[in-house]
Amino acid sequence: MRKLILCLTVCISFTLQAQKGAQIQLHPEKSTQIIDRHIYGQFAEHLGSCIYGGLWVGPDSDIPNTDGYRNDVLEALKKLQIPNLRWPGGCFADEYHWMDGIGPRENHPKMVNNNWGGTIEDNSFGTHEFLNLCELLECEPYISGNVGSGTVEELAKWVEYMTSEGDSPMARLRRENGRDKAWKVKYLGVGNESWGCGGSMRPEYYADLYRRYATYCRNYDDNRLFKIASGASDYDYNWTEILMKNAAYHMDGLSLHYYTVTGWEGSKGAATIFNKEEYYNTIGKCLEIEDVLIKHIEIMDKYDPQKRVALMMDEWGTWWDEEPETTPGHLYQQNTMRDAFVAALTLNLFHKYTDRLKMANIAQIVNVLQSMILTNNKQMVLTPTYHVFEMYKVHQDAIHIPLDILCEKIIDSNKREVPMVSASASRNKEGKIHITLANVDPDNKQEITLDTTGQKFNKITGRILRAGSITDHNTFDRPDLVKPVSFTGAKTAEGQLLISLPAASIAVLELN
Ligand code: AHR
């Protein structure tokens, strides 16, 4: 058993010694980056009840729906301002054959979803259903193509089917299937986790294969593809090195996956039952993503100093044990304030690297891993993570304002530093400043002083997500236990903002 090694370190602060507090200094003079809205991307895989039951119930369902999409889920997702949606996997993508999902539904062949519990996939949700969903959500589709078990011809034809306006064979087939106008598809992933479920390849081999597949994925009419190579996971810096060395010229983006997984001895831990040591260890693991990002970016900088190739963190989030009595392999997990902190801290961090990091996709949108929404037949509940994404959407496409934070830190059981306060700031097109703040300390409030010298504003408004306990979560019986409320704990005093941030809380302030 691991020992509890929570020790308080002395903060470098000069003013904070006597109180639990923090100082934040904004640096608008250092603003150079836009926070790409695509950092707020989502991911929907044919896995468990993400698609079937979560997003899609079919037009004949007694669950209220619009052309087969659940109305309650659609309505909730529209409020998130989702910039892009990745589909159909994940691991599923490299076993998916898109032609099985077009034409009259009753003719679609079935398949075994080998990656996710051996469930029978009836292919009723296919290309049309996905791209029409993106239109309903007003988000950009991000298609993940099959490299592992597919062919170059199959992927090339899929691109033609979706995007060709002319009289080409695949455009004709699309028209026969009821869609006259081509869709716009920009983001195209060429394989997924090609080092693992996507084909167990070596990076040298995949780099060549990527180049071959990418060659035949054409730009039809005015559609312009943004081709994304399957990237590394976590600490596999060699994969990024080899891909950048051998294929950077042929790619627009390179992906990276990082999950906040903390379990040991075969168990990832329960989503809703954890002690403070496990909590801080999760926050420590979550924050380690910054070091991982920096190291992959350093390698990309070596081969691409102009930063032409984007880094796409197209899978991230928490991964816990599946909820008891749910279908094995379906990755259905609950979502507490701890998950909300992982979302808030990760997004605050992503904002710092948007000169290279141009997209991120939390895994996954409904009913799988760190989801926005959980459903059970007709019932639906919004998770604490949903509320973070909804509160944070104000940062999308805003100018990032760099900042420094001085605050108390603890050391987690893996000897990682965990600062008690996390923050990020941006200025939007109307000149409004938004500051997102998190106090990860479950027991103590933080008195935060934020220097606003040089910033003009007349009004401060805010919202806060807080919990009585870090294990708090929403259930179908208590759907509103964790939800944002109005926050009035910030006031101005002599060019400073004094913010009293309750224990275990996440807030967004608007300075107007
Ligand atoms: O998100 C679940 C799975 O995690 C994805 O299918 C795969 O890409 C990753 O290993």
Best of 42, 43, 45 to mutate for ligand 1, by most ligand atoms within 8 A of CB? 45
> Residue 91 Cα, ligand 1 centroid: separation in angstroms?
6
Nearest to 41 by CA among 76, 85, 89, 73: 85
pLDDT at 3 over 80: no
Question: Across residues 47-69, what is the average pLDDT?
Answer: 98
In this predicted structure, what is the pLDDT of residue 265? 62
Instruction: Give the C-alpha separation, 276 to 281, whole Å.
Output: 8
Q: What is the dihedral of CA 435, 440, 443, 446, to 10 degrees?
A: -30
Largest CA distance in the chain: 74
Give the Å distances, CA to CA, from 271 to 113, 262, 267, 295, 334.
25, 11, 11, 29, 6
pTM for this model (two decimals)? 0.95
Element (H, E) at 162: helix 152-163
In this predicted structure, what is the pLDDT of residue 18? 31
Give the Å distances, CA to CA, from 490 to 128, 243, 373, 463, 509.
48, 47, 30, 11, 8
From the CB of 317, is ligand 1 less than 6 Å away? Answer: no
Instruction: Give the C-alpha separation, 312 to 89, whole Å.
Output: 15
pLDDT at 264 over 70: no
DSSP sequence for 94-149: GG--GGGGSS-GGGPPPEEETTTTTEEE---S-HHHHHHHHHHHT-EEEEEE--SS
Q: What is the pLDDT of residues 394-445, one digit of tens each?
A: 999 999 999 999 999 999 999 999 999 999 999 999 999 999 999 999 999 9
Q: What is the pLDDT of residues 473-505, one digit of tens each?
A: 999 999 999 999 999 999 998 889 999 999 999
- In the numeric block, the tokens 């109305």 are attached to 71
If one counts every other C-beta atom within 10 angstroms of the C-beta of residue 45, the result is 28
pLDDT at 173 over 60: yes
Question: Across residues 238-262, what is the average pLDDT?
Answer: 97
Strand partners, 412: none
Instruction: Return the residue whose CA atom lies nearest to atom 4 of ligand 1.
Output: 90
From the CB of 89, is ligand 1 less than 6 Å away? Answer: yes
E-strand ranges in 197-272 read 226-233, 253-260
Q: What is the pLDDT of residues 371-389, one digit of tens each?
A: 999 999 999 999 999 999 9
Q: What is the pLDDT of residues 434-459, one digit of tens each?
A: 999 999 999 999 999 999 887 888 89
Task: Report percent pLDDT > 90 for the chain.
Answer: 93
> Residue 257 Cα, ligand 1 centroid: separation in angstroms?
9
pLDDT at 228 over 80: yes
**Residues carrying an active site annotation:** 193, 315
Strand partners, 379: 376
Strand partners, 257: 233, 315
Instruction: Return the residue whose CA atom lies nearest to atom 3 of ligand 1.
Output: 90
Question: For residue 499, which phi and psi values (nearest 5 degrees)?
Answer: -120, 125
From the CB of 36, is ligand 1 less than 6 Å away? Answer: no
The amino acid at residue 452 is T
> Residue 100 Cα, ligand 1 centroid: separation in angstroms?
22
In this predicted structure, what is the pLDDT of residue 363? 98
From the CB of 148, is ligand 1 less than 6 Å away? Answer: no
pLDDT at 152 over 70: yes
In this predicted structure, what is the pLDDT of residue 17? 32
Q: What is the pLDDT of residues 282-302, one digit of tens each?
A: 999 999 999 999 999 999 999
Task: Report percent pLDDT > 70 for the chain.
Answer: 96
* C-beta separation of 83 from 140 below 8 A: yes
Q: In sequence order, what are the residues at sequence separation of 6 or more whose Cβ sits closer than 8 angstroms to the Cβ of residue 468? A: none
> Residue 92 Cα, ligand 1 centroid: separation in angstroms?
8
Q: What is the pLDDT of residues 333-371, one digit of tens each?
A: 999 999 999 999 999 999 999 999 999 999 999 999 999
Atom of ligand 1 nearest to the CA of 93: 6
